Amino acid sequence: MGDCECKPLGFLIGLPFAFVSLLLALVGVIVWIIGSALSCLCPCCICCAGLANLAVSLVKLPIQILRWFIDLIPC
């Protein structure tokens, strides 16, 4: 138990921020769907790839925020 992996305080403190990022993740899903449709219509458009990458990072945001808060809390 030297690593002290159980940090419930960090999880609880990060929950409100994870909820806000969850809303951003929903926006990311919508942007990803629109970007995918645009890339099918015009595959030469490089901005659609950028939109898809932005959407994927928004979808991963809630987990990244929770991990960041958990890592900030000492044992």
Q: What is the pLDDT of residue 45?
A: 65
Q: How far is CA 54 from the centre of its chain?
A: 10
The answer to whether position 11 is within a domain reads no
Q: What is the pLDDT of residue 20?
A: 80
How many distinct structural domains can be found in the chain?
Answer: 1
The answer to whether position 42 is within a domain reads yes
What average pLDDT score do residues 33-52 get? 72
Q: What range does the domain containing 62 cover?
A: 18-72
3-state secondary structure of 1: coil
**Higher-confidence position of 6 and 44:** 44
The answer to whether position 1 is within a domain reads no
The answer to whether position 30 is within a domain reads yes
* Dist CA 26 CA 11 (whole Å): 21
**Higher-confidence position of 12 and 2:** 12
Residue 23 has which token pair? 């809303």
pTM over 0.75: no
The answer to whether position 40 is within a domain reads yes
Per-residue pLDDT tens over the stretch 47-70: 667 777 777 887 787 788 778 877
